[in-house]
Amino acid sequence: MLDIIYQDQAIVVCVKPFRVISTDEPGGMPDLIREALGQPHAKVRAVHRLDQVVGGLMVYGLTGPAASELSRQIREDAFLKEYQAVVHWRPQYDEGTYVDLLGRNEKTRKTYVAKVPGKGIQQAILHYKLLDNRQGFSLVEIRLETGRTHQIRAQFSARGMPLAGDRKYSKYPDPPEWQIALWSSHLAFTHPETGEAMDFRLPPPATEPWTLFQDEP
Q: How far is CA 107 from the centre of its chain?
A: 23
In 104-166, alpha helices (H): 151-157
**Strand 137-144, strand 4-7: pairing:** unpaired
pLDDT band at 24 (very low <50, low <70, confident <90, very high): confident
Q: Counting beta carbons within 10 angstroms of the beta carbon of residue 142, is it exposed (0 to 12), middle (13 to 18) or buried (19 or more)?
A: buried
What does the mean pLDDT of the chain come to? 96
Question: What's the pLDDT tens digit per position in 85-106?
Answer: 999 999 999 999 999 999 999 9
Question: What percentage of the chain has pLDDT greater than the value 70?
Answer: 99
Question: What's the pLDDT tens digit per position in 146-163?
Answer: 989 999 999 999 999 999
- R_g of the chain computed on alpha carbons: 18
210 Cβ contact partners less than 8 Å away, ≥ 6 residues apart: 86, 181, 183, 204
| pTM metric for this prediction | 0.94
Is the per-residue pLDDT at 77 higher than 60? yes
Question: What is the torsional sign of CA 102, 56, 76, 97?
Answer: negative
| Spatial separation of the C-alpha atoms in residues 138 and 172, rounded to whole Å | 15
**Strand 182-190, strand 11-16: pairing:** unpaired
